[in-house]
């Protein structure tokens, strides 16, 4: 016949689990919760720090007609600079205005003979 103490001891042994496995599970759960919290914090910080159009000046809408080859070249240059096509077109126009301004400000010098 089994005593109450023996039966109780047998039941407790059956209920015991692998303590190190439980500890590993708890540690993994804590790490997963921390990782999720970090992801949410990083996402929140990323979205809060972006200000669209902060440094841009007001612009006008202009329709232009260019050939497909020219458009591909503009798109390729924009891609290389990692900017939009609109910004690339703006850069091209500004460069063209600067170079034309230099031409008009510094025309070809002419030799003047006094007679």
Q: Which residue has the higher pLDDT, 6 or 67?
A: 67
* Range in 53-62, 69-78, 92-101 the model is least confident about: 53-62
Average pLDDT of 14-24?
71
In a domain, 111, yes or no: no
In a domain, 35, yes or no: yes
DSSP 66: -
Helix (H, G, I), strand (E, B) or coil at 84: coil
In a domain, 101, yes or no: yes
In a domain, 73, yes or no: yes
In a domain, 88, yes or no: yes
In a domain, 74, yes or no: yes
DSSP 52: T
Which band of pLDDT confidence, cut at 50, 70 and 90, is reported for residue 112? low
Cα distance between residue 28 and residue 21, in whole Å:
10
51-84 b/e (C-beta count within 10 Å ≥ 16 → b):
eeeeeeeeeeeeeeeeeeeeeeebeeebeeeeee
pLDDT, tens digit (0-9, with 9 covering 90-100), for 85-94: 998 999 999 8
Range of the domain at 26: 8-44
Indicate the average pLDDT of the chain: 79
pLDDT of residue 52: 65
Helix (H, G, I), strand (E, B) or coil at 27: helix
In a domain, 114, yes or no: no
Q: Which residue has the higher pLDDT, 115 or 35?
A: 35
Beta-carbon contacts of 92 under 8 Å, excluding residues fewer than 6 positions away, are 74
pLDDT, tens digit (0-9, with 9 covering 90-100), for 38-57: 777 776 666 665 566 666 77
The residue behind tokens 């690339």 is 88
Q: How many domains does the chain divide into?
A: 2
Cα distance between residue 115 and residue 100, in whole Å:
34
């Amino acid at each position: 016949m089994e005593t109450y103490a023996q039966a109780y001891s047998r039941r407790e042994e059956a209920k015991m689990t692998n303590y190190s496995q439980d500890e590993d599970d708890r540690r993994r759960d804590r790490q997963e919760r921390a990782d999720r919290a970090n992801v949410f914090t990083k996402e929140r910080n990323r979205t809060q720090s972006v200000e669209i159009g902060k440094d841009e000046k007001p612009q006008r809408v202009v329709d232009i007609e260019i050939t497909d080859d020219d458009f591909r070249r503009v798109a390729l240059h924009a891609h290389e600079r990692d900017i939009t096509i609109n910004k690339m077109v703006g850069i091209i126009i500004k460069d063209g205005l600067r170079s034309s301004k230099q031409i008009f400000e510094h025309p070809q010098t002419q030799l003047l003979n006094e007679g």
